[in-house]
């Protein structure tokens, strides 16, 4: 289908890096050096990848642009350091990729947003954020509140405090968070341990002998930049799938595996399903589990995006995987960090924003009319996904130098990184960076979407294929 790919703007399509450089002068405002967390895996003194375009455009209370550009630069720097290729990024590409869900169209129709029960709700003493996009989370929420219908939820919440809602819904397997100010989160048991963590926590060890072979592209070959790299994607929702999406666009064979009975939301799958394959496997079935283990034997990287401990019963926690497959790059991430009291708790970008204080920072109004707010994009998800992709690339580059390792991130730690950045200059005005969108036919209809946010060797990176039918792939490598 490559020949059917087209730009949705006249004169668009695959643009030259030099043309972009001529149109957007090189920006001298510094970016957060998020790539430095990968230093143990990178060659000594790598040059950060160049970028062009405006430094700010969303114009909010926090430097969301810095988080977007910095996380994308981390991936670009790891790619350039590992391959010697020319990797660059632009503000326009970063803005479009962090808003990719809002740009997605299916046969010209915009995709849906949050479910009716997902969002901010008043309680007797403040506000709570609910997440009920998935049917099983909606059922858990209704059970926790002891109501039978969606219409009865608001009345039930107004009889409870925000903390009571958070505790009760969480105990029933649902997802909710009280809206806290930043200082309350920082002093909480769950928030106290985060400042001691880097954004990307890297662990290294000598690579096994003989070392697992490294894809030719990561040895400086001339093919696709990640051709030959095999990535097993055990992630859901946005963060992990968006990270594996760009690895697939770079040439990796990405195989996403989901459990049966809990299908991904279709429109969410479409946003993140480009340049990869999709399979469904019941790991409680011995035959499927054996095939899955066969995939691990030949994999280069595994991305783990389930909440802490949920995969341990299958021997798929990071420590077990590193012991069983010493040459495997293991990149894990979760909502709240894997060492604190909330390690096993469910969480999403919007929920982390509420609990960490971001929703309070973006609140508006006075007195009784005050209500919490949200970031302009789901930046915690997309930045964490880029961080995971950057760690995967850095791990593979390090393997070529005899270093093996793993990496861990969390949405909560990404939130802290964002809140630590200096605020945008006062008086910064919001501006629109018009995206260069693409249109492609698929089995789901004609898709309009944002391309991957990188330029490789002076040309815009493009996706290799549209989303394949969900669960259509066999448990084999291509």
Strand pairing of 230-234 and 301-304? parallel
> What local confidence, expressed as pLDDT, does residue 213 receive?
58
Residue 350 lies in a domain: no
The more confident residue out of 218 and 441 is 441
List Cα–Cα distances, 275 to 220, 229, 406, in angstroms: 22, 13, 24
Q: What is the pLDDT of residues 220-235, one digit of tens each?
A: 444 578 999 999 999 9
- pLDDT exceeding 90 applies to what percent of the chain? 74
Tell me how far CA of residue 310 lies from CA of 249, 250, 324, 328, 388, in angstroms.
29, 30, 18, 20, 19
> How many whole angstroms separate alpha carbon 239 and alpha carbon 383?
8
Is residue 230 in a domain?
A: yes
Instruction: Report how many domains make up the chain.
Output: 1
Token digits for 146? 């002891």
Q: Once rounded to an integer, what is the mean pLDDT over residues 298-315?
A: 86
- In the sheet that holds 201-206, the strands lie side by side as 201-206, 403-410, 329-334, 301-304, 230-234, 253-258, 277-280
Strand-pairing partners, residue 438, are 7, 449
Q: Which residues contact 367 (CB under 8 A, 6 or more apart)?
A: none
Give the span between the Cα atoms of 15 and 455, in whole angstroms.
9
Beta-carbon neighbour count of residue 46 at 10 Å? Answer: 18
165: Cα separation from own chain's centroid: 27
Domain containing residue 322: CATH number: 3.40.50.10540
CA gap 93, 20 in Å, rounded: 11
CB within 8 Å of 165: residues ≥ 6 apart: 123, 128, 145, 157, 176, 178
Give domain status of residue 398, yes or no.
Answer: yes
Q: Is residue 37 predicted with pLDDT exceeding 50?
A: yes
Task: Report the pLDDT averaged over residues 378-404.
Answer: 95
Residue 248: what pLDDT?
96
Query: Which tokens hold the place of 446?
Result: 């004609």
Rounded Cα distance between 372 and 362, Å, is 6
What is the SS3 assignment for 445? Answer: coil
Two tokens, residue 379? 């930046």
Q: Which of the residue ranges 73-87, 139-153, 154-168 would you say has the lowest mean pLDDT?
A: 139-153
Strands 459-460 and 455-456: antiparallel
Mean pLDDT, rounded, of the chain: 89
Dist. CA 4–CA 104, nearest whole Å: 17
User: What's the average model confidence in pLDDT over 26-54?
Assistant: 90
DSSP strand pairing (459-460 vs 230-234)? unpaired
| 235: containing domain | 193-337+377-436
Beta bridge partners of 278: 256
Residue 216 is assigned to a structural domain of this protein: yes
Least confident of 62-71, 144-153, 308-317: 308-317
Confidence band for 27, pLDDT divided at 50, 70 and 90: low
Looking at residue 225, the DSSP 8-state letter turns out to be T
Task: pLDDT band for 163, please (50, 70, 90 cuts).
Answer: very high
322 in a domain, yes or no?
yes
Please tell me the predicted confidence (pLDDT) of residue 45. Answer: 87
CA 449 to CA 99: how far, in whole Å? 10
How does residue 4 score in pLDDT terms, banded at 50, 70 and 90?
A: very low
pLDDT at position 21 is 35
pLDDT at 154: 92
- The model's pLDDT over 66-101, given as tens digits with 9 standing for 90+, comes to 999 999 999 999 999 998 899 999 999 999 999 999
Residue 267 falls inside a structural domain: yes
Whole-number pLDDT of residue 113: 77
Nearby residues of 408 by Cβ (< 8 Å), 6 or more positions away: 200, 201, 318, 331, 332, 333, 338
Can you give the pLDDT at residue 435?
Answer: 92
Question: Ramachandran region of residue 208, left (φ > 0), alpha (ψ -120 to 50) or beta?
Answer: beta
Instruction: Report the candidate in 53, 45, 90, 47 with the shortest Cα–Cα distance to residue 72.
Output: 90
Dist CA 423 CA 407 (whole Å): 28
Q: H or E stretch including 269?
A: helix 266-272
* Higher-pLDDT residue of 296, 309: 296
pLDDT in tens, 244-268: 999 999 999 999 999 998 888 899 9
Residue 130, helix vs strand vs coil = strand
pLDDT at 149: 84
Q: What is the pLDDT of residue 148?
A: 85
Alpha carbon distance, N-terminus to C-terminus of the chain: 18
pLDDT bracket for residue 25 (50, 70, 90): very low
Closest CA to 93 of 455, 401, 448, 474: 455
Peptide bond into 210 cis (omega under 30): yes
pLDDT band at 300 (very low <50, low <70, confident <90, very high): very high
- pLDDT tens digits, 445-461: 999 999 999 999 999 99
Q: Is residue 181 part of a domain?
A: no
Kindly indicate the confidence band of residue 218, based on its pLDDT and cuts at 50, 70 and 90: low
Confidence of residue 24 (pLDDT cuts 50, 70, 90): very low
- Residue scoring higher pLDDT (7 or 442): 442
In the chain, % of residues over pLDDT 70: 91
Residue 23 has pLDDT above 50, yes or no: no
CA separation for the pair 415, 410 (Å, rounded): 9
Q: Which two tokens mark 52? A: 């062009």
Measuring CA to CA, which residue among 461, 422, 456, 387 is closest to residue 65? 422
pTM, two decimals, is: 0.91
pLDDT value of residue 215: 60
Tell whether the model's pLDDT for residue 17 goes beyond 70.
no
For residue 246 the two structure tokens come to: 């760009």
Cα gap 364→371, rounded to integer Å? 6
**Per-residue pLDDT tens digits for 404-435:** 899 999 999 999 999 999 999 988 889 989 99
Give the β-pairing of 403-410 and 277-280.
Answer: unpaired
What's the pLDDT at 315?
Answer: 85
**pLDDT over 60 at 11, yes or no:** no
pLDDT(38) > 80: yes
- Within a domain: 278: yes
Which range has the top average pLDDT, 238-247, 260-269, 320-329? Answer: 238-247
């Amino acid at each position: 289908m490559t020949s059917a790919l087209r730009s949705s703007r006249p004169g668009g399509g695959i643009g030259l890096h030099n043309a972009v450089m001529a149109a957007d002068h090189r920006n001298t405002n510094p970016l957060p050096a998020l790539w430095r967390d990968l230093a143990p895996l990178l060659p000594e003194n790598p040059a950060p990848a160049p970028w062009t375009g405006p430094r700010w455009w969303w114009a909010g209370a926090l430097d969301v642009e810095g988080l977007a550009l910095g996380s994308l630069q981390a991936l670009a720097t790891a790619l350039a350091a590992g391959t010697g290729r020319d990797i660059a990024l632009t503000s326009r590409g970063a803005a479009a990729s962090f808003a990719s869900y809002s740009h997605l169209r299916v046969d010209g129709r915009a995709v849906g947003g949050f479910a009716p029960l997902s969002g901010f709700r008043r309680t007797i003493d403040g506000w709570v954020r609910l997440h009920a996009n998935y049917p099983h989370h909606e059922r858990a929420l209704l059970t926790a509140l002891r109501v039978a219908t969606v219409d009865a939820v608001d009345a039930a919440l107004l009889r409870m405090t925000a903390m009571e809602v958070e505790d009760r819904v969480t105990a029933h397997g649902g997802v909710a968070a009280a809206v806290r100010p930043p200082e309350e989160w920082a002093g909480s048991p769950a928030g106290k341990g985060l400042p001691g963590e880097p954004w990307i926590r890297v662990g290294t060890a000598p690579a096994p002998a003989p070392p697992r072979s490294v894809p030719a592209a990561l040895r400086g070959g001339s093919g696709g930049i990640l051709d030959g790299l095999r990535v097993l994607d055990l992630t859901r929702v946005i963060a992990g799938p968006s990270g594996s999406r760009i690895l697939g666009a770079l040439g990796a064979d990405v195989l996403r595996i989901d459990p049966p009975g809990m299908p991904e939301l279709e429109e969410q799958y479409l946003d993140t399903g480009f340049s990869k394959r999709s399979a469904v496997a019941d790991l409680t079935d011995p035959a499927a589990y054996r095939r899955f283990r066969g995939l691990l034997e030949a994999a280069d990287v595994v991305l783990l995006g389930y909440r802490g401990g949920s995969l341990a019963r299958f021997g798929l926690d990071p420590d077990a995987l590193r012991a069983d497959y010493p040459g495997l790059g293991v990149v894990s991430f979760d909502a709240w960090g894997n060492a604190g009291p909330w390690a096993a708790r469910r969480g999403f970008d919007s929920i982390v924003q509420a609990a960490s204080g971001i929703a309070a920072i973006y609140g508006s109004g006075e007195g009784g009319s005050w209500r919490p707010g949200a970031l302009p994009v789901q930046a915690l998800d997309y930045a964490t996904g880029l961080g995971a992709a950057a760690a995967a690339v850095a791990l593979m580059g390090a393997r070529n130098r005899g270093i093996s390792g793993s990496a861990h991130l969390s949405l909560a730690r990404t939130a802290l990184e964002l809140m630590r950045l200096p605020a945008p200059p006062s008086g910064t005005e919001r501006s629109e960076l018009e995206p260069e969108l693409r249109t492609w036919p698929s089995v789901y209809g004609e898709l309009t979407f944002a391309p991957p946010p990188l330029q490789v060797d002076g040309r815009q990176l493009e996706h290799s294929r549209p989303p394949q039918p969900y669960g259509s792939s066999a448990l084999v490598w291509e």
